[in-house]
Amino acid sequence: MSVIRTPEQELARFRGRLAVAGAVALVCFGLLAARFFYLQVLRYDYYSTRAEDNRISLVPIVPNRGLIMDRNGTVLARNYSAYTLEITPSRVADLEATIEALSALVDIQPKDRKRLKKLMDESKSFESLPIRNRLSDEEVARFIAQRYRFPGVELKARLFRDYPMGSFGSHIIGYIGRINDRDLERIEENEDSANYRGTDHIGKAGLEKSYERELHGLTGFEEVEVDSGGRAVRALRRTPATPGNNLVLTIDLKLQEVVEKAFGNRRGALVAIEPGSGGVLALVSLPTFDPNLFVDGIAPQDWDELNTSPDHPMVNRALNGAYPPGSTFKPFMALAALMSGKRTAGQAISDPGFFDFGGHHFRDDKAGGHGTVDMYKSIVQSCDTYYYRLANDMGIDLIASTMGMFGFGSRTGIDIEGESSGVLPSPEWKKRRFKKPEQQKWFGGETISIGIGQGYNAYTMLQLAHATATVAAGGVMFKPHLVKYIESAKDGSRRMIEPQPIKTIPIKPEHLETIRRGMIGVNREGTGARAFAGAPYVSAGKTGTAQVYSLKGAKYSAKIAERLRDHALFIAFAPADKPTIALAVLVENGGFGAQSAAPIARQVLDYYLLGKLPAGVAPEDPGAEGSAEESTGD
C-alpha cells in the first residue's frame, strides 16, 4: 500500500497526532495528579502516621543454617545458640564512653573494638552491630542487671556454627566465615541482599560454599514497635524464617576416619567413589585443618601457621593436587591399546629390559627385563618396556584422545569448588603451555615416558579415582558428587541427588575383562599381592610410583631427601566382579606404591566390604552423641 497524500493532508494528519499526543500526556498527568491526591489527601492520615512512627522497625529473622551429615547421619556441621551483645550506633550518644562502661561488665578486647569499627564503616547507623560474641553466662547476668544504663545496647541470642568432628573431613565440609566485601558484591549481583539482611556469615569453602543457597534458608522479618530507647515493645507482624536445608552426604565419615588413621602423619590424598552412582565415599587430603578456627574470623597467628607450614594443610590435595600417576596409568594405556586395536591381549613382546628411541635408552625397573610379556603380565608385573613400546606405537595424539575419554585432564564436575584440571599432555597442550617456539615442539621421545604415567602427565586423585570407577562400572561414567540428598528442614522431605551418567565409553566386554583380569592379577600374584594377602574378597588393583625428582647420582641432606622421595600410588576396585567401591590413593614421598599406598587401600576395602576396623579406630560411632543434641535454637 502506498498512499500518496498532499502536503496539506500530511500536515493535517501530523497535527491530529500532536493533538492525540497532547491528550495522552494530559490523561497521564491527570492519573499522576489523582495518585497524588489519593496519597496526600485521602490517605494523608495513614501515611503521616507511618512517617511519624517510622519507629516501627523491621527486624530480620535469620534462618537456621542447614546441617551437614554423613551418609549414616553423623553430624559434621551444626549450630548452637549463644548470646551476643549488640550496639545500635545511632541510638548511642557517646559510643566510646558506652563501650568503656560496657567493658567493666563484659570482657571487650581491642580486636572486638576494631571489628565494630569496621562494621560501622560498612553499614547504616541504625543497624544493630555486634560488639562481643559468645558471652559467658556470668557476663550475660551482669549485663542484664545493668541494662537500664545502656540504651541502644541489646543482648541477642544468635546461632553459631560448630564443626563437631574438628579436622575430620574439613576439606569436604569447608567452613563459613564473616561476610566480607567480596561476598557482599556477589550477594548483590545475585540480587540476594534482602535475604542476607541480618546474616553475617556465609560459606567460604567446600560444601559450605558450593551449597550456600541450600544451607542458608530464607530470612523472615518482624515488624516491631520500639520505644524511644530502641527496645522492642511488641511485635506487630511476623513472617517466620524458613530454615536452610540439610545436606546428607555420600561420604562415610567412618571410612574417612579409617583413611586418615591409616595415613598416620604422612601427607597424601585418597578418593573413594561408588562406581554405579558417582557418589564419593571418602575424600581425604592430609594434613588437614580445624574449620572451627575460621567461623569467627581466624586469628592472625593461626592463619600464619596454616599458611606458612611446609605441609600446606589448606591445600586440598585430592582435588587440587595434580600428580603424575606413574604405573597406575598402565591399565588405562592397555585398555586404550585394545580399544584402538594397537594390541591384542595375547600379543607378546620380548623385553630385554630397555627400549631404545632416538639414541635414548629407556630402562625398565627390572634389570635384564621381564622376558616374554603379554598384556596380562605387563599389568601384573608392571613392565615398563611393554608400555614404552606401546606408547611409541600409539603415538601421542591417539594416547591423548583415548585418555581424554576417561576424564584425564579435565575437571570431573564434582560439587565443590577448587578442582584442578590436571595435565593431559599432547602437542596442542604443549603449544598452549609454553611461550617460546622451541619449547612448543613435541618430541617423539616425550611420548615414551607418557606411556608409563610419567613425563608431563599430572592428574588429581579425584580424576584417577573417577577413571578407575568408570572402568569398574564397565565404561559408564557418572558425575562424582558428595551430596546424597538434600533434606528440607521444614517438612523433612528429601530431594535425592540422582546419579548423573555423563557418558558411556564404548568398550568391548572382552577388553574390559582383560584389564580386570590383569588388575586382579596385580593383587593376587603381582605388585599388590603382599598388601592383599589373605583378603577374603577378590579385588583389582594397580600400584604406581611417581618420580618427584631425578636424582642423577647427586646427594642430599636427609631432610630434603625425604621431600624428594617418590610419591606412592595405588588404584583399586572391589569386589572385582561387581564393584561397589573404586579408589585412588597417593602417599606423598611414600616411595614405592606397593609398600605404602597399597596397605592403605587394603584397610579401606577391608572396612568398606567387611566392616573390619583397623587397630586404633574406635568401634562406636564418634558422631552419635553429636547428632542427638543438634541445635535447633532460634
Q: Under the criterion CB under 8 A, does residue 12 sit at the interface with another protein?
A: no
Residue 123 touches another protein, criterion: CB under 8 A? no
Contact in structure between 166 and 622 (CB atoms under 8 Å): no
How far is it, in rounded angstroms, from Cα 585 to Cα 572?
9
Q: How far is the CB of 42 from another protein (least distance, A)?
A: 9
* Between 4 and 367, CB nearer to another protein: 4
Residues 6+ apart with CB under 8 A from 451: 329, 333, 387, 388, 390, 391, 392, 394, 399
Please state, in angstroms and rounded to a whole number, the distance separating the CA atoms of residues 114 and 50.
Answer: 36
Extract the C-alpha cell encoding 297: 574470623
Please state, in angstroms and rounded to a whole number, the distance separating the CA atoms of residues 627 and 621.
11
Between residue 25 and residue 44, which ones bind another protein under the rule CB under 8 A? 25-26, 28-29, 31-33, 35-37, 39-41, 43-44
**For the window 217-256, what string marks contact with another protein as x by the rule CB under 8 A?**
--x-x-----------------------------------
CB of 212 to another protein, least distance (A): 17
Q: Write down the least CB distance from residue 44 to another protein, Å.
A: 5
Distance CA 580, CA 603 (A): 15
Q: Does 93 bind another protein (CB under 8 A)?
A: no
What does the alpha-carbon distance between residue 238 and residue 224 come to, in Å, rounded to a whole number?
9
Least distance (Å) between residue 56 CB and another protein: 11
The reply on whether position 124 binds another protein by CB under 8 A is yes
Amino acid, single-letter form, for residue 222: E
Contacting range for another protein; rule: CB under 8 A; set: 45-53, 373-381, 399-407, 555-563 = 45-53
Asked whether position 615 contacts another protein by CB under 8 A, the answer is no
Nearer to another protein, 34 or 551 (CB): 34
Among the residue ranges 24-32, 73-81, 128-136, 563-571, the one whose residues contact another protein (CB under 8 A)? 24-32
Q: Does 15 bind another protein (CB under 8 A)?
A: yes
The C-alpha cell at 156 is 541477642
> Do you know the residue count of the chain?
634
Nearer to another protein, 10 or 302 (CB): 10
| Burial classification of residue 127, based on how many CB atoms lie within 10 Å of its CB (0-12 exposed, 13-18 middle, 19 or more buried) | middle
CA distances from 401 to 2, 82, 334 (A): 63, 56, 14
The active-site residue out of 128, 285, 327, 382 is: 327
| CB closer to another protein, 10 vs 397 | 10
| Of 223 and 446, CB closest to another protein | 223
Output 43 or 494, the one with its CB closest to another protein.
43
Phi, psi for residue 204 in degrees, rounded to 5: -110, -25
Selected from 8, 52, 94, 181, the binder of another protein by CB under 8 A is 52
Residue closer to another protein, measured from CB, 41 or 615? 41
Residue 289 CB, nearest approach to another protein (Å): 34
327 flagged as catalytic = yes
Tell the smallest beta-carbon distance from residue 536 to another protein (Å): 52
> In angstroms, what is the minimal distance from the CB of 16 to another protein?
10
The strand pairing partners of 285, in sequence order, are 269
417-451: b or e for each residue (b if 16 or more CB lie within 10 Å)?
eebbebbbbbeebbeeeeeeeeeeebeeebbbbbb
Instruction: Please report how close the Cβ of residue 18 comes to another protein at its closest, in angstroms.
Output: 5
Tell me the chain's radius of gyration from C-alpha atoms: 33
SS3 234: strand
Three-state secondary structure string covering 73-122: CCEEEEEEEEEEEEECHHHCCCHHHHHHHHCCCCCCCHHHHHHHHHHHHH
Interface pick for another protein out of 117, 126, 232, 537 (rule CB under 8 A): 126
Instruction: Find the part of the chain contacting another protein (CB under 8 A) among 47-55, 151-159, 547-555, 563-571.
Output: 47-55
Q: According to the binding rule CB under 8 A, does residue 96 interact with another protein?
A: no
Exposure on the CB side of residue 311, measured as CA atoms within 13 A: 14
Min CB(6)–another protein separation in Å: 10
Nearest-CA neighbor of 521 among 403, 345, 281, 276?
A: 345
Nearest to 201 by CA among 154, 246, 162: 162
> Residue 381 interacts with another protein (CB under 8 A)?
no
Q: Which of 109, 136, 193, 350 binds another protein (CB under 8 A)?
A: 193
For the bound state, the minimum distance from the C-beta of residue 197 to another protein, rounded and expressed in Å, comes to 5
Size, binding site for another protein by CB under 8 A: 47
| 201 close to 176: Cβ distance less than 8 angstroms | yes
Given candidates 96, 189, 438, 510, which one binds another protein under the rule CB under 8 A?
189
Q: Which stretch binds another protein (CB under 8 A): 186-194, 338-346, 555-563, 579-587?
A: 186-194
Contact, 562 vs 589, CB < 8 A?
yes
**Would you name the residues annotated as active-site residues?**
327
- What residues make contact with another protein under the rule CB under 8 A? 1-2, 4, 10, 13-15, 17-18, 21-22, 25-26, 28-29, 31-33, 35-37, 39-41, 43-44, 46-48, 50-52, 54, 58, 60, 124-126, 188-189, 191, 193-195, 197, 219, 221
